[in-house]
Amino acid sequence: MKHLYNINKVVIIINLVLVIIPFLGLVFLLVTGFFQVISFIACLIYWKRIDHSLRKYFIAYPFLAGICLGILAIETDVSFTISLSLSALLALSFLFLLKKQKDITQKNAIDSL
């Protein structure tokens, strides 16, 4: 989980830097989403390692991503802006979930020593 968090953190930092140039920030948001979907699949593979208190939030992630894609499918300027704003917030919340999981994993490793 530590590696997933670090990879996602770097990708989001790159995305935040690229937001200065609006078009590049929007294009890289797709890359961020790709990395997060891969990270979510990795979380599913290691589901038993996910803390029980965080599982419901990880379960909600694909539904929220589907809502963002559904809003994007409406194909209006407003829906495009809303969808990208929601996907940026979703990316940050997923990064927060990975951080919480990393902290819990490290705390459990320290406690077991």
pLDDT at 97: 94
Position 111 in a domain: no
Low-confidence ranges of the chain (pLDDT < 70): none
- Containing structural domain, residue 19: 2-106
CB 70 within 8 A of CB 53: no
Q: Which pTM does this prediction carry?
A: 0.87
pLDDT at 68: 87
Count of structural domains, the chain: 1
Position 33 in a domain: yes
pLDDT at 62: 92
Position 46 in a domain: yes
Position 112 in a domain: no
pLDDT at 12: 92
Is 47 in a helix, a strand, or coil?
Answer: helix
Position 113 in a domain: no
Distance CA 45, CA 43 (A): 5
CB 15 within 8 A of CB 24: no
